[in-house]
Chain A
Amino acid sequence: MKQCVTPTGKLTAYGEQIWSKLSIDIKKELWKWMVRLRAYDQQCMVWSRQGKILTYAPYFGQEASQVGSAFALQPQDWLFPTYRDHGAAIVHGLPMKHSLFYWLGRIEGNRSGGKWRALPASVPIATHLLHAVGTAWAATLRNRPTVSLALFGDGATSEGDFHEACNLAGLKQLPVLFFCQNNRYAISTPFGEQSATETVVEKAHAYGFPGIRIDGNDVLVVYETVKHAAHKARLGNGPVLIEALTYRLGPHTMSDLPQRYRMMEEEREWNAREPLQRYQQLLLDQGVLNEQEVQETKRSCQQQVLESMNQVLHAASPPNTHLFAHVFAVLPRDLKKQRNEVVGRRGMDACFEYD
């Protein structure tokens, strides 16, 4: 397992090399993103428990994987996230406000307007990996330096679509990065009950491309690995499977009870290996950060989350007719009739638009 920063915040030998190459700006940005995403996620868990948003899938504990992977992308690159990867989506351009709309059960939150290249969170497991293969294929056909990053969990490797995506990407040697956050569990099922292989990475070899196993709670190694893999993919070296070893510190969703399938002891162990604390410690030790900056940043990130929620709560609610918006480019006649049935039933606002 490749690692740059140990759980106690020390650089490994490999970490020293990477550290010396990175600018202070990047070192700090990686940290800031983790602070921001942590604030957002923690607050969403609270709001979900209070019933202010609907059920929520936290990425708590996986912030290094979320930030490190998406931060390594360039604006023209594609991101294909799951329901747990809104952290990565936010790093790639999704405004928090949009994410909040989504967790409030409002589909408008999915809109990107093409401003960042990502599809909305994919809910059916592993199905989106093939989409990344498609965009990567297009990049090859059009000879463009675009890579596609697909995020998924360890459980997803059991689905047929995972194997089909790897097979096709390997066959065509496409610029696609398969980034598996092995957080140990698919809801209650440990990886040991998904597969006879001990690791996810070893599967890559069967499809004709390399696999790299990294510490998914170490933002430096995640960033460096994805950046390097993306660089090589842009040069035509084909796909890579990255297995990031991490742990979901929160529940699967807010309706899950982790104590039904895992030990408190295990959670405590992983708490000690969580991503934000160790990296922050490193930055403090190296003099890149000071305590005051830590406190100020935490406060401003928290403020940003609350402000986003405020905007969302003050946005106009969708009219009933919004049910029919964007189902087709041009609404077929029959559907127009159905649409007329809901006009007038609570707040008609035909020109409802959302930015």
Chain B
Amino acid sequence: MPVSNMIESIRDALGIALAADDDLLILGEDVGRYGGVFRATEGLQERYGPDRVIDMPLAESSIIGAAIGLALEGYKPVCEIQFLGFLYPGFEQLISHVSRIRYRTQGDYGMSMVIRAPMGSGVKSHELHSDSFESFYVHIPGIKVVVPSNPYDAKGLLLAAIDDPDPVIFLEPTALYRAEREEVPAEIYQIPLGAAKLVREGQDLTMIAWGGMVPVVKEAAVQLVEDQIQCEIIDIRSLYPFDQDLIVQSVKKTGRVIVVHEAPRTLGVGAEVAAMIQEQAFLFLEAPIMRVTGYDVPTPLGALEHVNRPDVNRIKKAVQQVLHY
């Protein structure tokens, strides 16, 4: 089986999708001849031409707004926003139109499109290149939000997102693009949106994370074994809709939960997860649900990035607090 990193598996999925559907278009800044700033679309314009892999003017509202019209005419836009922190000029189109055209036309028109964007910290990037504002998108009714944490999932989730009849925001953790290589099947497969993944089984506590935090949580779990603590890990991967069943099942077994995310704590997705758990598994809880998150501050520049970004030590400390409540 071929081995790839996340950027390669995303490129692979995009290539498969372009080959499978003549109406699929890739739109974005520098996605054509340049192959994207992270090389996600490298070689695709050569293969499918500049009318299908399209270098757009530097304008996010043009990208998302024009994608709406293209979708109305039966095209399938797969937009690349260079960094999630630069989506905002197109936010109006997303929140006022993309998310609600199906609803406003009462089903006459759907808005099947994918918007891909790199996000998150961990590579000491420049201002606005490391934000992790997934909550904004989760909060918009009518949009699905997906965040893969490994090459295999990235391909399967992206193919599922492209096939979905509704708009999907596909968030790619920059820190993971080239972090690990693993076996990724060459053929087409999909991972259903809305299904979480049980990454590790354990009895003592459930750790919930997504995207760039998954490897950090995994490392913490490995270290905690030395203290005789067995953590269960759930990678949510699909933030909306999210897999309540798998989480509740795990909590009923362990009775203790921590949620880890890079995004600021207040109104982060962790708050939603915690609220859902206490609604559905209150009597199984042995301790309050703890969050290990970024702080409610602007994402810092490189020098202080490590202070804001949850790390193994912060996670281990929270685990001890939850276990010894």
Listed stretches A14-22, A139-147, A158-166, A277-285; interface member: A158-166
Size class of the B contact interface (CB-based, 8 Å): 35 or more
A193 to B296, alpha carbons, bound, how many Å?
40
| Closest beta carbon of chain B to A151's beta carbon, Å | 16
Separation of A193 and B128 alpha carbons in the complex (Å): 25
Whether a CB of chain B sits under 8 angstroms from the CB of A93 is no
**Contacts of B220-274 to chain A: CB distance below 8 A:** 265-266
B-facing residues in A97-141 (Cβ within 8 Å): 102, 104-107, 121, 123-125
Contact B89 A123 (CB under 8 A): no
B301 near A324: Cβ-Cβ < 8 Å? no
Is B1 at the interface (CB under 8 A from chain A)? no
User: Assuming the A-B contacts A124-B85, A195-B57, are A335 and B33 also in contact, with contact meaning beta carbons closer than 8 angstroms in the complex?
Assistant: no
**Does the CB pair A106–B86 fall under 8 Å?**
no
Q: Is the CB of A160 within 8 A of B126?
A: no
The dominant DSSP class at the B interface is loop
Q: Tell me which residues across on chain B come within 8 A of A334, comparing CB atoms.
A: 266, 296
- Mask of B296-312 contacts with A, CB within 8 angstroms, 1/0: 11101111110110000
How many A-B pairs have beta carbons closer than 8 Å: the answer is: 110
Distance of A105 from chain B, by nearest CB (Å): 3
Q: Taking CB as reference atom, which chain B residue is nearest A106?
A: B303
Let me know if B128 and A160 touch, CB within 8 A: no
Interface-located stretch among A58-66, A73-81, A184-192, A221-229: A184-192
Contacts of A106 in B (CB 8 A): 301, 303-304
| Residues on the A chain within 8 Å of B303, using CB | 104-106, 317-318
Across the interface, A324 reaches (CB within 8 A) one of B61, B125, B297, namely: B297
Question: A314 an interface residue at 8 Å Cβ cutoff?
Answer: no
- Complex Cα gap A193–B266 (Å): 41
Inside 8 A of A346's CB, which chain B residues have their CB? 307
Residues of the B chain whose Cβ atoms lie less than 8 Å from the Cβ of A189? 29-30, 34, 55, 57-58
Contact with A along B78-89 (1 / 0, CB 8 A): 000000011011
- Please name all residues of chain B whose beta carbon is closer than 8 Å to the beta carbon of A253 when the two chains form the complex: 126
Docked pose: A277 CA to B302 CA in angstroms? 36
CB within 8 Å of B: which A302-355 residues: 317-318, 320, 322-324, 327, 334-335, 338-339, 341-342, 345-346
Q: List 25 interface pairs A-B (beta carbons < 8 Å), by A numbering.
A: A54-B124, A55-B125, A83-B126, A104-B302, A123-B127, A123-B128, A125-B58, A155-B57, A156-B58, A158-B57, A158-B58, A159-B58, A186-B29, A186-B30, A187-B37, A189-B55, A194-B57, A260-B34, A261-B33, A318-B304, A323-B295, A323-B297, A323-B308, A335-B295, A339-B295
